[in-house]
């Protein structure tokens, strides 16, 4: 509800238990807060949405659970993970593979594992690369301990990620693919 930077206090409001509506000030050394995320009203009110307003998909195939010809990814799909560009980078090849498989009349085992990433700045010149998949499992891309702040994370955030985003991801190139590309014959 509020952040007092000089006092290093964050005020939170309880939303889902017996203390609903009650506020509590919590001291912090490092604070990383995301605002509440929500799909657009057009999605929330559409027949594609689940009760929470997200496009209701299978979390591994990203295929709609009621409409087989619809897939969703990114900020509006119901996957239980962070809505980040890194997540979309892993979701897009899965959806493309699923659609190509459907056109060919074949099934693909779900391949999206919930990967999402966020570089967390801890100081000028230092970042922790937070990378997770479903269940909060830590899944570092680099063979480095992700809980340690590093200058390489800072470089990746300032230089590598913008380069990847603007010059590769938006053009459809796939870096670090880890998805199933083996087809299974469609069940009769």
CB 117, CB 85: distance < 8 Å = no
Mind listing the pLDDT tens digit of every residue in the chain (188 residues)? 899 999 999 999 988 778 899 999 999 998 877 777 789 999 999 999 999 999 999 999 999 999 999 999 999 999 998 888 889 989 998 998 899 888 888 877 778 999 999 888 888 999 998 899 998 898 888 888 888 899 998 998 999 888 888 888 778 777 654 433 333 333 33
Within 4-143, residue ranges assigned H as helices are: 41-44, 85-103
Domain with 85 in it: 39-178
Q: What is the pTM of this model?
A: 0.74
Q: Is residue 131 part of a domain?
A: yes
Position 85 in a domain: yes
How many independent structural domains does the chain possess? Answer: 1
Beta strand 126-133 with 183-185 is unpaired
Q: Which residue, 158, 133, 134, is CA-closest to 146?
A: 133
């Amino acid at each position: 509800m509020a952040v007092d930077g000089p006092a290093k206090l964050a005020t939170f409001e309880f939303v889902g238990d017996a203390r609903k509506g009650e506020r509590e000030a919590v001291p912090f050394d490092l604070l990383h807060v995301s605002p509440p995320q929500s799909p657009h009203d057009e999605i929330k009110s559409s027949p594609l949405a689940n009760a929470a307003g997200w496009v209701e998909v299978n979390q591994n195939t990203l295929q709609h659970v009621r409409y087989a010809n619809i897939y969703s990814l990114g900020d509006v799909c119901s996957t239980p993970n962070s809505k980040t560009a890194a997540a979309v980078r892993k979701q897009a090849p899965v959806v493309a593979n699923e659609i190509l498989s459907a056109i060919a009349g074949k099934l693909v085992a779900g391949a999206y594992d919930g990967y999402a990433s966020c570089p967390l700045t801890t100081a000028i010149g230092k970042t922790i690369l937070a990378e997770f998949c479903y269940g909060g499992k830590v899944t570092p891309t680099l063979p480095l301990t992700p809980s340690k702040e590093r200058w390489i994370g800072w470089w990746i955030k300032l230089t590598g990620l913008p380069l990847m985003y603007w010059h590769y991801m938006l053009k459809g190139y796939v870096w670090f693919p880890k998805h199933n590309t083996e087809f299974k014959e469609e069940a009769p």
